[in-house]
Amino acid sequence: MKSGSSGQDRVGVIVADDHPLYCDGLVRVLRERAEIEVLAQAGDGRTALACIREHRPDVAVLDLSLPDIDGLGVLDTMKREALPTRALFVSAQEDSATIYRAISFGADAYLPKSSSAAEIVNTVLAVARGETVISPAIQYGLAREIRLRRLADDRPVLSPRELEVLRLAADGMSAVEIGDHLHLSKTTVRTHLQHVYEKLEVSDRVAAVTQALRRGLLK
């Protein structure tokens, strides 16, 4: 924290959002609080990262959908470089899988863009104190995502051959083409695909690929 004219510590903040009006408005709101000092603002991830490296703020208020480097990319670099800044995401993306990814990447707080100015300001101050904040509006979805992923971890994984078949299916190959590529009969390929569907609890190829990507089985 930086020392202000009164001698009290102030929370150093940078704000990054690619919507200029929202970014400017958020900066104005934060600057209304004497205990917060906005050190810089950015409209893309590359600039945000440069500002974080230069100013070493206490808190970075980030959007997920930043140009050049997205918010998760910024956070990942912050963690790899052991930068002291804590991350608060304020994003329009409220799906549970995205929120789970942000938290698993090391985000300290996550708020939807519909949050009030007071909620964002209070969260910035809480994050600067070392607290973790998840908006009540998204807590249920996050908890559900955690439960689903825990259940997924308990399910049987695909065999190497099943993964190979599914990977080729994801590339758009037909059962005949997969068979030719792997030197398998069309019937064997279809048997492998049926086993994949059963293990992933889906009914078709598109759903299988989607589920496999979500669970990190396909890279």
Q: Mind giving me the DSSP string for 38-78?
A: EEEEESSHHHHHHHHHHH--SEEEE-SS-SSS-HHHHHHHH
- What's the DSSP call for residue 93? -
Specify whether the CB–CB gap between 88 and 116 falls below 8 A.
Answer: no
User: Where in the chain do CATH 1.10.10.10 domains reside?
Assistant: 155-214
Give the distance, in angstroms, between the CA of residue 112 and the centroid of all CA atoms in the same chain: 13
At residue 2, the pLDDT reads 57
Q: Which CATH superfamily is 2-149 part of? A: Response regulator (3.40.50.2300)
Kindly give the confidence (pLDDT) of every residue in the chain, 219 residues in length, as a single tens digit, with 9 standing for 90 and above.
654 434 458 999 999 999 999 999 999 999 999 999 999 999 999 999 999 999 999 999 999 999 999 999 999 999 999 999 999 999 998 888 888 888 888 999 999 999 999 999 999 999 999 999 988 888 887 777 777 766 655 555 788 899 999 999 999 999 999 999 999 999 999 999 999 998 888 888 888 888 888 777 886
pLDDT of residue 142: 79
Answer yes or no: CATH 1.10.10.10 is held by domain 155-214.
yes
pLDDT of residue 98: 84
Query: Which residues of the chain are in CATH 3.40.50.2300 domains?
Result: 2-149
The H-or-E segment that residue 40 falls in is strand 36-42
